[in-house]
Structure 1
Amino acid sequence: MRLRIQATSKPLAGRYCPPGDKSISHRVAILGGLARGTSVIEGFLEAADTRATLAAMASLGAEVTESEGRIRITGGRLEAGNRTLDLGNSGTGMRLLAGMLSGRPELIGHTLTLIGDESLSARPMDRIIRPLSEMGARIGSREGRAPLSIEPQALHGIRYAMPVASAQVKSALLLAGLVADGATVVVEPGPSRDHTERLLPAFGVDLLDGAPGVGVRGGAELRATELRVPGDLSSASFVMAAALMVPGSRVEVDNVGLNPTRDGVLRIIDAMGGRVERLSDETVGLEPVGRLAVHGEGLRGLEIPPAWVPLAIDEFPIVMAMAAAAEGETVIRGARELRVKESDRLAVMCEALAAVGVDVTETPDGAVIRGGRVRGGRVDSHGDHRIAMSMAVLGLVSEGDIVVERAQWIETSYPGFVDDMVALGADMQWEADDD
């Protein structure tokens, strides 16, 4: 399917509640399946990626039921009922499950295989295979890529200094450490999202202070809990960017997660001169949540500090779209990690921006974007949901239509994106592919 976007004829306006946080939804699906008793989860993200993780836990013996907008997960002991687990396009699901499965004592003697689609099968998995192998894990791969063949083994704890900050690697090791002998401590070179560290105590696991790292001790028993997943800031960033880019817009964003380990996009927006008001703040479970008002009053280019990159790693496609619409030059450095996402996001976004008339130069670890004019044109998402949504948002301020090919990949993380944008006043229409 392709998506056609026309420039808006009037400001965007309304109240908006983003879908449940994708990162947290993956984690509660896994932890709920490990915990004894029945966990009740409200606000779980209804998207292909998170559904794949939840289905994997169900295949491993967790009982999953749904009613009245809540998901109930009864766990406590895994079983190798289905030994091939399809994670679709979900890199988070694959990496976290690889860590969790590597040492499960009830699965020793079995072999489990994690598979994914073409895009996921091209993404690097060595970054988890290496440290998990140091713990004693036995993981086969296709030259460091999926499918992953996992033979659960008795593990031992390690202290691991990560070469690059990564919440997925950190979480995979902490999940493995839950059943390892001794303590497992992860030390990062910089901050990454800390949802796993916030969730583990909610499921009854005490964290170890391995300053400057974080850790767990093997043998902890997880207990079921009840929690509400806050709205996803990454998903909300597309709507916020649209409101910032379209002059005169005012959009209120309700129940959005404001975790300080992933608020880089808010820092970047502020530095670009974007006006975002915090109308309220609260804490939902262990996560900070708030209500924001976003105003369309113009953006300006900036040089993004490399230290902000890990705090906004998933939002850089939409940051690049905002830079294209902003006045002046935006410089991005220290973002090489974007090359190993669902696509090479630096290359694909630079290619897409150039295709719609933006003056952009790709660099080895970033880009230079000279904003102010977007002519319009046809772009390919390259199977990347965030590329598709970012270019769709940019179409709202384009001189001509922007058509996004293979936009159906939006379904992997944000199935309601087009409906939400249309409700706020955007002009977007799905079109069938040509025969």
Structure 2
Amino acid sequence: MKLVTNKQNLQGTIVVPADKSISHRSIMFGAMAKGKTTIHNFLRGEDCLSTLEAFKALGVPIEDDGAVIQVHGQGLEALKSVDSPIDVGNSGTTIRLMMGILAGTPFTTVLTGDASLNKRPMARVMDPINQMNGQISGFQHTQFPPITIQGSPHLKPMTYEMPVASAQVKSAILFAALQAEGETVIVEKESSRNHTEEMIRQFGGSITVEEKTIRVKGPQSLTGQTVIVPGDISSAAFFLVAALICKDSQIQLTNVGINPTRTGILDIIKEMGGLLELSEIDEQNQSATITAQASELKSCTIGGAIIPRLIDELPIIALLATQANGRTIIKDAQELKVKETNRIDAVANELTKMGACIEATEDGLLINGPTPLHGANVTSYGDHRIGMMLQIAALLVEEGEVKLDQAEAVSVSYPDFFTDLMTLLPGGAV
């Protein structure tokens, strides 16, 4: 696909897609709960639809009229066994969180995915849940999908110190803990996004969080709720950066989720001198309108406790750093290696092709800026966030074409990304 290049003066307002993490969990909690769960502003990207279809396969009645989704939950005990493997596509969130949900069922389930997902390691979820008397195994005794979950109705509580900061691992354990007899304690390495903890409370469950220690007593019963999904800050991040690095640009993004465990990118943009304004703040739904404009940027060091708060935004932050004055250091981000692709290498490889001065390290990136970018043939590696990042990078290219291989990956989280970008261009056209 030929990308849009050499554009300045981006202007307009974007309504970004709904939050991916909350959309996944709204279906999961609705399926686990008893009673009707009504979901507004659900993200109909491929990953979240994989979660929806998975629970339909497990016998959960789900209605979708295109505007509102209704999940008629009857509790975990009402889930039904499936004869064939459930295909979750490219969704790591679906497969990892469902391991925790299905661990306590009285039947066996096989979860599989596409070629990319089936190369992603699952041991860091399998191992702790198996410590809870779960019986989860990978393909031919490996840590890779297809994953077989031999349900164990007698899950045991445990105390678990997280070796890495991961909301997916934490959430899978929490889902298992809700079914175990007794108190499970999770000690986080660094605080990661807390949507699962908040939704346990929202659905009538009980959970205690004190700094990095989380306590859940099981078994618990949940009750259906109404969920209004805010816009995804991870999707908003691409247009925030576009406004910051394209001359004479100002972009407004409405109804963006600003859960404090997800707003690391806003802190980094401010540290780098980026001009941001938050307005129309809705504290109950943790959302706001965010306006960004072209800025003079400076380098910074990104590492430690902030990494879990911006892990999915690091590819686009790396692009931002190529246009900042000085050397930006991204460290403590080993988690990027086990995303849809090895995002550390992918970001370094593709931006280097376009002329960036960027170097991959064991746990992050070293980026010198500002550097002009030029045309190149690049690839998303089948990773939606790499694909969108490369299109924003292409806006800076004054000479040459940028051709993106596997551009279709963007539809995983943002099906209308390229269309929305067009609305911001001068005249609304390439």
* Band the TM-score falls in, shorter-chain normalisation: over 0.9
Q: 1:19: which partner in 2?
A: 17
8 Å Cα contact 1:187/1:213 also seen in 2? yes
In 2, the alpha carbon distance for the partners of 1:3 and 1:161 equals 47
- Amino acid of the residue matched to residue 367 of structure 2? I
| Alignment pair present for 1:343 and 2:316 | no
In 1, the alpha carbon distance for the partners of 2:343 and 2:242 equals 20
- Amino acid of the residue matched to residue 328 of structure 2? T
TM-score (norm 2): 0.95
In 2, the alpha carbon distance for the partners of 1:428 and 1:347 equals 34
In 2, the alpha carbon distance for the partners of 1:228 and 1:298 equals 36
8 Å Cα contact 1:349/1:387 also seen in 2? yes
Post-superposition Cα deviations, 1:31-70, rounded to whole Å, max 9, x if no partner, equal 1111111110001101000000111011111111122611
Deviates more, 1:306-315 or 1:164-173: 306-315
- Amino acid of the residue matched to residue 365 of structure 1? D
For the residue of structure 2 that corresponds to 1:160, the secondary structure is: strand
| Unmatched segments (≥5 aa) in structure 2 | none
Shift of 1:259: 0.8
- Amino acid of the residue matched to residue 119 of structure 1? S
Q: 1:329: which partner in 2?
A: 327
TM-score (norm 1): 0.94
In 2, the alpha carbon distance for the partners of 1:3 and 1:134 equals 49
- Amino acid of the residue matched to residue 198 of structure 1? E
Deviates more, 1:190-199 or 1:321-330: 321-330
In 1, the alpha carbon distance for the partners of 2:428 and 2:366 equals 28
In 2, the alpha carbon distance for the partners of 1:421 and 1:271 equals 26
In 1, the alpha carbon distance for the partners of 2:66 and 2:335 equals 39
Percent of residue pairs identical:
37
* Aligned ranges 1:311-326 → 2 under 5 Å: 311-326=309-324
Shift of 1:158: 0.8
In 1, the alpha carbon distance for the partners of 2:410 and 2:265 equals 20
Q: 1:433: which partner in 2?
A: none
In 2, the alpha carbon distance for the partners of 1:350 and 1:301 equals 17
Q: 1:146: which partner in 2?
A: 145
Q: 2:157: which partner in 1?
A: 157
Shift of 1:390: 0.3
* Aligned ranges 1:153-232 → 2 under 5 Å: 153=152, 154-209=154-209, 212-232=212-232
In 2, the alpha carbon distance for the partners of 1:205 and 1:386 equals 33
8 Å Cα contact 1:3/1:392 also seen in 2? no
* Aligned ranges 1:37-52 → 2 under 5 Å: 37-52=35-50
8 Å Cα contact 1:59/1:82 also seen in 2? no
Q: 2:301: which partner in 1?
A: 303
Q: 2:92: which partner in 1?
A: 91
In 1, the alpha carbon distance for the partners of 2:209 and 2:248 equals 48
For the residue of structure 2 that corresponds to 1:41, the secondary structure is: strand
8 Å Cα contact 1:39/1:72 also seen in 2? yes
8 Å Cα contact 1:64/1:72 also seen in 2? yes
- Amino acid of the residue matched to residue 166 of structure 2? S
For the residue of structure 1 that corresponds to 2:221, the secondary structure is: coil
Q: 1:271: which partner in 2?
A: 271
For the residue of structure 2 that corresponds to 1:326, the secondary structure is: coil
8 Å Cα contact 2:59/2:79 also seen in 1? yes
Shift of 1:427: 9.8
Compared CA separation, residues 211 and 295, structure 1 to 2 (3 A)? closer
| Unmatched segments (≥5 aa) in structure 1 | 431-435
In 1, the alpha carbon distance for the partners of 2:146 and 2:258 equals 34
| Alignment pair present for 1:128 and 2:115 | no
For the residue of structure 1 that corresponds to 2:242, the secondary structure is: helix
Compared CA separation, residues 325 and 404, structure 1 to 2 (3 A)? farther
8 Å Cα contact 1:62/1:78 also seen in 2? yes
| Alignment pair present for 1:247 and 2:247 | yes
Q: 1:376: which partner in 2?
A: 375
8 Å Cα contact 1:5/1:403 also seen in 2? no
- Amino acid of the residue matched to residue 343 of structure 2? R
In 2, the alpha carbon distance for the partners of 1:426 and 1:335 equals 37
Q: 1:385: which partner in 2?
A: 384
Compared CA separation, residues 339 and 225, structure 1 to 2 (3 A)? same
Compared CA separation, residues 212 and 243, structure 1 to 2 (3 A)? closer
For the residue of structure 2 that corresponds to 1:6, the secondary structure is: coil
Compared CA separation, residues 427 and 24, structure 1 to 2 (3 A)? farther
In 1, the alpha carbon distance for the partners of 2:316 and 2:2 equals 17
For the residue of structure 1 that corresponds to 2:301, the secondary structure is: coil
In 2, the alpha carbon distance for the partners of 1:211 and 1:252 equals 34
- Amino acid of the residue matched to residue 85 of structure 1? I
8 Å Cα contact 1:5/1:428 also seen in 2? no
| Alignment pair present for 1:416 and 2:416 | yes
Count of residues in correspondence between the two structures: 422
In 1, the alpha carbon distance for the partners of 2:369 and 2:115 equals 34
Post-superposition Cα deviations, 1:291-310, rounded to whole Å, max 9, x if no partner, equal 11111123222222333211
For the residue of structure 2 that corresponds to 1:403, the secondary structure is: strand
In 2, the alpha carbon distance for the partners of 1:218 and 1:263 equals 31
8 Å Cα contact 1:258/1:289 also seen in 2? yes
8 Å Cα contact 1:236/1:253 also seen in 2? yes
Compared CA separation, residues 202 and 71, structure 1 to 2 (3 A)? same
